[in-house]
Amino acid sequence: MSKITIKTKEDIEKLRIGGRRLARVVDAVGARIQPGMSALELDTFAEEMIRSFGDTPSFLGYAQTKKDPGYPGTLCISVNDGVVHGAPSADIIFKEGDIVKIDCGLIHEGLFVDHARTFAVGDIDPADRELMRVTEEALRVGIEQARAGNTTGDIGYAIESYVKNRYGNVRTLAGHGVGYAVHEPPFVPNYGKKGKGEPLVPGMVIAIEPMLTRGTDDVMIADDGYTYITTDGSHAAHFEHTLLITENGPAEIFTVLEDE
């Protein structure tokens, strides 16, 4: 998909339902994580939960090129220095002190939503706890700017200004348009200039997803061929919501639990 799309009223209602379901999935996945469990077990649980709704995991089989065999999981599971895009496997066993990034997408009646949270396994380093808190707050700060009349640059500028030099801010990966596909334009970077980038228009649906680290801004692909890890081994956190640019006022966040 090469153009920015505006979602219809009917599509927005489907995104609302899909978003709430996805929030339930990620919440339930997070509640299950415990030492000794494998990433594959968690992935199977998430896939079954999504299918029990009659929906479809959107990452599973996702291919970016024709040669790409397709992504092997329902979840992206990235542990500690893993930032995003970690593929689930039976070899990844969670242990006390890990921080685990769970990223998931689903398709509800043809509409795509995307959501990520970072979870602690038991007692974690207080510095990791603080990293998680600041990353979630960076997402909130970005969402605050996601208003008609603003630009993607306003979102990035707000996130970057909030983070300052306290943490590494991964710049080579970004948020994105979503709704009719896993990824749509525009890019929604976690840095930027006020008033620059793409104008935000009512009916646009975007995913905002800051990725912060306790060290470098830089990431590389790990030996597994999937996970983006920090180049200095520092721990990373990631939070993401799918949201709608509304006519007036704040964005409507789709990926929240019913009673939030």
Positions touching Mg ion (CB under 5 A) are 103, 114, 116, 207, 240
**What residues are paired with 225 via a beta bridge?**
none
Bond prior to 202 in cis (omega within 30° of 0):
no
Whether the Cβ atoms of residue 107 and residue 20 lie closer than 8 Å to each other: no
How far apart are CB 101 and Mg ion at their closest, in Å? 10
Select 98 or 103, whichever has its Cβ closest to Mg ion. 103
How far apart are CB 179 and Mg ion at their closest, in Å? 12
Please, how many CA atoms are within 13 Å of residue 148, restricted to the half-sphere of its CB?
12
The alpha carbon of residue 50 and the mean position of all alpha carbons in its chain are separated, in whole angstroms, by 17
Q: Is 190 helix (H, G, I), strand (E, B) or coil?
A: coil
How far apart are CB 96 and Mg ion at their closest, in Å? 26
Q: What distance in Å separates the CA atoms of residue 252 and residue 147, rounded to the nearest whole number? A: 10
Select 27 or 194, whichever has its Cβ closest to Mg ion. 27
How far apart are CB 87 and Mg ion at their closest, in Å? 14
Q: Is 142 helix (H, G, I), strand (E, B) or coil?
A: helix
What is the phi/psi pair of residue 50, to 5°?
A: -65, -45
Whether the Cβ atoms of residue 88 and residue 40 lie closer than 8 Å to each other: yes
Select 60 or 116, whichever has its Cβ closest to Mg ion. 116
**What residues are paired with 104 via a beta bridge?**
75, 115
Select 214 or 238, whichever has its Cβ closest to Mg ion. 238
How far apart are CB 105 and Mg ion at their closest, in Å? 6
Select 158 or 206, whichever has its Cβ closest to Mg ion. 206
